[in-house]
Amino acid sequence: MRFLLLPLVLLCRAWAADLDPAILTFKAPEDLKWSGTAKTYQQAVLYGDPSKPGLYVVLAKWPPGTGSRPHSHPNDRYITVISGTWWVGTGADYDMNKTVPMKAGSFIKHTAGGIHFDGAKDEEVVLQIVGMGPATTVQAAK
Protein backbone atom coordinates (compact mmCIF):
# COMPACT_ATOMS: atom_id res chain seq x y z
CA MET A 1 0.00 0.00 0.00
CA ARG A 2 2.85 2.38 0.88
CA PHE A 3 4.35 1.92 -2.59
CA LEU A 4 1.05 2.89 -4.23
CA LEU A 5 0.67 6.09 -2.18
CA LEU A 6 4.12 7.49 -2.95
CA PRO A 7 3.53 7.94 -6.71
CA LEU A 8 0.14 9.53 -5.93
CA VAL A 9 1.73 12.04 -3.53
CA LEU A 10 4.42 12.93 -6.07
CA LEU A 11 1.82 13.34 -8.80
CA CYS A 12 -0.22 15.70 -6.61
CA ARG A 13 2.87 17.82 -5.94
CA ALA A 14 3.55 18.07 -9.68
CA TRP A 15 0.00 19.25 -10.36
CA ALA A 16 0.23 21.86 -7.60
CA ALA A 17 3.43 23.26 -9.13
CA ASP A 18 1.75 23.87 -12.51
CA LEU A 19 -0.45 26.85 -11.61
CA ASP A 20 -1.99 28.74 -14.52
CA PRO A 21 -0.80 32.39 -14.21
CA ALA A 22 -3.91 33.54 -16.08
CA ILE A 23 -5.97 32.21 -13.18
CA LEU A 24 -3.77 32.68 -10.12
CA THR A 25 -0.70 34.79 -9.46
CA PHE A 26 1.27 34.91 -6.24
CA LYS A 27 4.40 36.25 -4.58
CA ALA A 28 6.15 34.17 -1.96
CA PRO A 29 7.81 36.08 0.89
CA GLU A 30 11.26 35.43 -0.56
CA ASP A 31 10.14 36.97 -3.89
CA LEU A 32 9.14 40.34 -2.40
CA LYS A 33 11.22 43.34 -3.45
CA TRP A 34 11.45 45.78 -0.55
CA SER A 35 12.29 49.43 -1.17
CA GLY A 36 13.48 51.86 1.48
CA THR A 37 15.89 51.22 4.33
CA ALA A 38 15.71 48.97 7.36
CA LYS A 39 16.01 52.06 9.60
CA THR A 40 12.92 53.75 8.12
CA TYR A 41 9.78 52.82 6.23
CA GLN A 42 10.05 49.92 3.76
CA GLN A 43 7.51 48.94 1.14
CA ALA A 44 6.91 45.92 -1.11
CA VAL A 45 4.37 46.22 -3.92
CA LEU A 46 2.12 43.16 -4.09
CA TYR A 47 -0.20 44.40 -6.84
CA GLY A 48 -0.50 47.38 -9.14
CA ASP A 49 1.65 50.51 -9.08
CA PRO A 50 0.96 53.02 -6.28
CA SER A 51 2.37 55.85 -8.42
CA LYS A 52 -0.22 55.31 -11.19
CA PRO A 53 -4.03 55.41 -11.37
CA GLY A 54 -5.67 52.15 -10.35
CA LEU A 55 -5.83 49.62 -7.54
CA TYR A 56 -2.65 48.91 -5.59
CA VAL A 57 -1.75 46.63 -2.68
CA VAL A 58 1.49 47.06 -0.73
CA LEU A 59 3.11 45.68 2.39
CA ALA A 60 4.73 48.32 4.57
CA LYS A 61 7.27 47.72 7.35
CA TRP A 62 7.86 50.27 10.10
CA PRO A 63 10.80 49.65 12.47
CA PRO A 64 10.34 50.38 16.19
CA GLY A 65 10.30 54.09 16.99
CA THR A 66 9.32 55.26 13.50
CA GLY A 67 6.17 56.88 12.22
CA SER A 68 4.64 59.74 10.34
CA ARG A 69 3.84 63.34 11.19
CA PRO A 70 0.27 64.63 10.60
CA HIS A 71 -0.70 64.18 6.95
CA SER A 72 -3.55 63.15 4.66
CA HIS A 73 -4.07 61.27 1.41
CA PRO A 74 -6.31 62.38 -1.49
CA ASN A 75 -7.84 58.87 -1.78
CA ASP A 76 -9.24 56.45 0.81
CA ARG A 77 -6.71 53.89 2.05
CA TYR A 78 -7.55 50.57 3.69
CA ILE A 79 -5.01 49.13 6.11
CA THR A 80 -4.76 45.77 7.85
CA VAL A 81 -2.19 45.28 10.59
CA ILE A 82 -0.37 42.05 9.72
CA SER A 83 2.02 41.99 12.68
CA GLY A 84 2.96 44.19 15.60
CA THR A 85 0.92 47.06 17.06
CA TRP A 86 0.25 50.16 14.94
CA TRP A 87 -0.44 53.36 16.87
CA VAL A 88 -2.88 55.79 15.22
CA GLY A 89 -4.01 59.33 15.94
CA THR A 90 -6.08 62.00 14.21
CA GLY A 91 -5.76 65.75 13.77
CA ALA A 92 -2.95 68.19 13.05
CA ASP A 93 -1.59 68.26 16.63
CA TYR A 94 1.12 65.60 16.64
CA ASP A 95 1.26 63.75 19.96
CA MET A 96 2.15 60.05 19.93
CA ASN A 97 0.96 59.87 23.56
CA LYS A 98 -2.59 60.41 22.27
CA THR A 99 -2.52 57.51 19.81
CA VAL A 100 -4.65 54.37 20.01
CA PRO A 101 -3.11 50.89 19.58
CA MET A 102 -4.19 48.73 16.65
CA LYS A 103 -2.92 45.20 17.22
CA ALA A 104 -2.34 42.54 14.54
CA GLY A 105 -5.56 41.76 12.71
CA SER A 106 -6.97 45.29 13.10
CA PHE A 107 -8.46 47.13 10.13
CA ILE A 108 -8.15 50.89 9.63
CA LYS A 109 -9.66 53.15 6.96
CA HIS A 110 -7.91 56.44 6.24
CA THR A 111 -10.66 58.61 4.75
CA ALA A 112 -9.55 60.83 1.85
CA GLY A 113 -8.43 64.23 3.15
CA GLY A 114 -8.52 63.17 6.81
CA ILE A 115 -5.48 64.36 8.77
CA HIS A 116 -3.85 61.60 10.79
CA PHE A 117 -0.51 60.37 12.13
CA ASP A 118 0.67 56.93 13.04
CA GLY A 119 3.66 54.79 13.83
CA ALA A 120 5.42 51.90 15.49
CA LYS A 121 6.47 52.28 19.11
CA ASP A 122 8.21 49.25 20.68
CA GLU A 123 8.17 46.70 17.85
CA GLU A 124 8.30 46.36 14.09
CA VAL A 125 4.91 46.71 12.42
CA VAL A 126 3.89 45.20 9.09
CA LEU A 127 0.82 46.63 7.36
CA GLN A 128 -1.06 45.75 4.20
CA ILE A 129 -2.26 48.95 2.50
CA VAL A 130 -4.87 48.91 -0.27
CA GLY A 131 -5.97 51.95 -2.22
CA MET A 132 -6.50 53.62 -5.57
CA GLY A 133 -3.48 55.37 -7.03
CA PRO A 134 -1.79 57.53 -7.48
CA ALA A 135 -0.88 57.23 -3.80
CA THR A 136 0.33 60.56 -2.50
CA THR A 137 0.81 62.11 0.93
CA VAL A 138 0.01 65.73 1.83
CA GLN A 139 1.77 67.02 4.95
CA ALA A 140 -0.58 68.88 7.32
CA ALA A 141 0.08 72.56 7.97
CA LYS A 142 1.68 73.21 11.34
- What lies within 8 Å, CB to CB, of 72 at 6+ separation is 110, 112, 113, 114, 115, 116, 137, 138, 140
Report all structural domains of the chain as residue ranges with CATH numbers, in order of start: 23-139 (2.60.120.10)
Write out the DSSP string of the chain.
Answer: -HHHHHHHHHHHHHHHH---TTT-----GGG--EEE-TTS-EEEEEES-TTSSEEEEEEEEE-TT-EEEEEE-SS-EEEEEEESEEEEEESSS--GGG-EEEETT-EEEE-TT--EEEEESSS-EEEEEEEEESP--EEPP-
pLDDT by residue (tens digit) across 38-60? 788 899 999 999 999 999 999 99
First to last CA, the chain: 74
pTM: 0.82
State residue 17's pLDDT score.
Answer: 67
4: enclosing H helix or E strand: helix 2-17
The DSSP call for residue 140 is P
State residue 41's pLDDT score.
Answer: 87
The stretches in the chain having pLDDT less than 50 are 2-3, 8, 11-12
19: enclosing H helix or E strand: none
CB atoms within 10 A of CB 128: 15
Share above pLDDT 90 across residues of the chain, in percent, rounded to a whole number: 69
